[in-house]
Amino acid sequence: MLKDLTSEKLIRLQIEADNWEDAVRKAAEPLEDEGKIKASYIDAIIDSVKTAGPYIVITPHVALPHARPETGALESAIGIATLKSPVAFGNADNDPVKYLFCLSAKDNNSHLGALADLAELLENKEFFELLDKTNDPKEVIDYLNH
């Protein structure tokens, strides 16, 4: 479940980013800091977007940065980040991005339940209203737990 893969330490709210690459690096940083991913994983996310385009922008204003497990995923986890000012990723339908859910998957299957939870959450207007108004990661965790 989503709440099992995230924590207050993996949440960064109202961060400032100069561009999409900076946004991905800052959203993924807590996962690296907490030993969930290696730096190579962040590089792999950025390289894949440069190669394949902004496929990680999955719905309006939402990106799901992720890479292959073998590129440096150490544990399955999800980081949550909001941007103070949205940035363009180059996805005409869904730019600009304001919310990033950085996924680390240590294999191809163990995170699927969490992704299903996330998909449900992304349809919840209340969740985005909370992300827009709070600066407290604990409030986000409390929301996920209820």
Taking the C-alpha atoms of residue 22 and residue 134, their distance in angstroms, rounded to an integer, is 22
The pLDDT value recorded for residue 86 is: 97
**Residue 111 confidence (pLDDT) above 70:** no
The pLDDT value recorded for residue 14 is: 97
Annotated catalytic residues are 66
Instruction: Report the Cα 89 to chain-centroid distance in Å.
Output: 14
DSSP string, 56-80: TEEETTEE-----GGGTB-S-EEEE
The pLDDT value recorded for residue 107 is: 80
Contact 115, 138 (CB under 8 A): no
Taking the C-alpha atoms of residue 102 and residue 132, their distance in angstroms, rounded to an integer, is 18
Average pLDDT on 67-85 reads: 95
> Is the sign of the CA dihedral 139, 5, 118, 24 positive or negative?
positive
pTM strictly above 0.85: yes
Strand 97-104 with 57-59, pairing: unpaired
Average pLDDT on 93-98 reads: 97
CB neighbours (10 Å) of residue 141?
A: 17
Taking the C-alpha atoms of residue 128 and residue 114, their distance in angstroms, rounded to an integer, is 18
pLDDT tens-digit readout, 34-72: 999 999 999 999 999 999 999 999 999 999 999 999 999
